[in-house]
Amino acid sequence: MVSRPVPADWLSLRRQADHTAREAALPLVAEAVAALGAEDAPVRVIDVGAGTGSNQAWLADRIVPLEQHWILVDHDADLIDAVDPVAPTSVSSLTRRIATVAELPDIVAEDEGPVLFTCAALLDLLSPADAAVLVDAIARTGSAALLSLSVTGAVSIDPPHPADTAITDAFDAHQRRDDLLGPDAVDHVAGLLRERGQRVRVAETPWRLDAAEQAALVQRYLHDRADVAIEHDPALADLVTAWREERQAQIDRGALVVHVGHADILSLPATA
């Protein structure tokens, strides 16, 4: 599912930006609640790639009044152990499972009541095979799904720099390494869901990061972006080093804004 560990400090650093971006998808959340509320039964919320619990922290109170039984699923025991042991008051019960996407068929059965599959910042880290397993679990069980904050590849930095395009191309190519979906994830997964008869809506949920207010996050994002570009194409090292130095000076002055494209997917069964 993920070819390298996701650092817990990165998840913590990006949490507020994620939560702010997801406000744009509240209409999708409302549709999911309306569909699940018609079941008039407790809902199992299966959070795939739960990490340190950011998705639950944002979503649980926004799907009230549904009675919620959360199952947090992640392959990284260290991350899932870091989830706040005190769940939001809107959560009736909480279970943690150390498992991969491939094990989802063992986690959810077809006859155990309504299910909401959810994830955040996960789809771009999946292979096509993993995505097919996730989509099959959603469609086979007639479940709803809120699949959030997948990168789209749309990144703009103000002010622009002549090296931006070369770095973006290298970064996106790296995101597609080892057959990962990367910035193609939203279109790929939405297409699979539609093929299985699901009703699908997509909402843009971009980050807007201002160095004057979010210097630590902007610095981490751009420096990691630079490292990935060099890892993918070492011939870019001199260009990227100069770009990084100029961008750092702009961050220090609070004179830089970054827009990072993300999108959320709502999937509902055709009968919802």
Q: Write the DSSP symbol of residue 196.
A: T
Assign 1 a pLDDT band (cuts: 50, 70, 90).
very low
Report the share of the chain in percent with pLDDT over 70.
97
Assign 152 a pLDDT band (cuts: 50, 70, 90).
very high
Residue 99 placed within a domain:
yes
Residue 166 placed within a domain:
no
Report the share of the chain in percent with pLDDT over 90.
88
44 or 38: which carries more pLDDT confidence? Answer: 44
Residue 127 placed within a domain:
yes
Residue 47 has a pLDDT of 97
Q: Which two tokens stand for residue 169?
A: 């191309």
Residue 177 has a pLDDT of 94
Residue 231 placed within a domain:
no
Given CA atoms 227, 229, 231, 236 in this order, what sign does their dihedral have? negative
Closest to 144 measured CA to CA, from 48, 63, 36: 36
Question: First-to-last CA distance in the chain?
Answer: 30
Residue 82 placed within a domain:
yes
Give the E-state strand segments of 143-248 in sequence order: 144-158, 199-204, 207-210
Residue 229 placed within a domain:
no
Q: Which two tokens stand for residue 124?
A: 């771009």
pLDDT tens for 227-256 read 999 999 999 999 999 999 999 999 999 999
Residue 32 placed within a domain:
yes
| Alpha carbon separation from 249 to 28, 209, 246 (Å, rounded) | 39, 16, 5
Q: Provide the domain count of the chain.
A: 1
Taking each continuous run of H as one helix and of E as one strand, the counts in the chain are 10, 8
**Number of Cβ atoms within 10 Å of the Cβ of 235:** 10
Q: Which domain holds residue 128?
A: 8-154+180-208+261-268
Residue 110 has a pLDDT of 60
Residue 50 placed within a domain:
yes
Q: How far apart are CA 209 and CA 262, in angstroms?
A: 13
The CATH number that applies at residue 50 is 3.40.50.150
Give percent helix, percent strand, percent coil of the chain, each to the nearest 5: 50, 25, 30
Q: How far apart are CA 266 and CA 251, in angstroms?
A: 35
